[in-house]
Structure 1
Amino acid sequence: MTINQSWHELRVGDHICILHLPQIQMLENTKQLYQRLIAERAILKVSEIDRWGYPVIYYSFQNKQGEGEAHSLAIDESDIWEKVNIT
């Protein structure tokens, strides 16, 4: 596991775990997503590199109303994460 590795080094197929809530302003639903990912210590797979070069993860879950939710999140310099080796 490597903490605070540059997001520029992430590649499609890499796995990461978000460690802390970024210290930036964000929408409330984005904040709630980060809190959920941190609380669950979710292992997230980089699914793509977007057109601006940011690694993107997708995450889906069932909300309190029993409905499915799907979210995407671009990883950047404000995120604190660790790379996870899946064997």
Structure 2
Amino acid sequence: MTQFRFQVMAPETREPIQHVRVEPAPDWDDFKEFVEQYIESTGAEIKVADYGMDRHQIDYELDGERYLMHYEHYTQSVWIEPKK
């Protein structure tokens, strides 16, 4: 089992998008493991998980707010945005 370390970065623009630094960077196959660790550490609750061909998207709730976590395969980018 890989132990991931992560840091949610403050938005760099007016857009409410938070980039997530993850070490080691999750790959396509172990992204679910990273999500489980993230959700457990934050106390969030997964509402919907969509593991697609090019992008994974996790809809979760934290402190009464809904968020979408995205993972893009080609750039290995992870980011979070409020669900509208």
Please, what TM-score do these two structures have when normalized by structure 2? 0.37
Please, what TM-score do these two structures have when normalized by structure 1? 0.36
Pick the structure with more helix per residue.
1
Pick the structure with more strand per residue.
2
- Higher normalized contact order (CA 8 Å, seq sep 6+, divided by chain length): 1
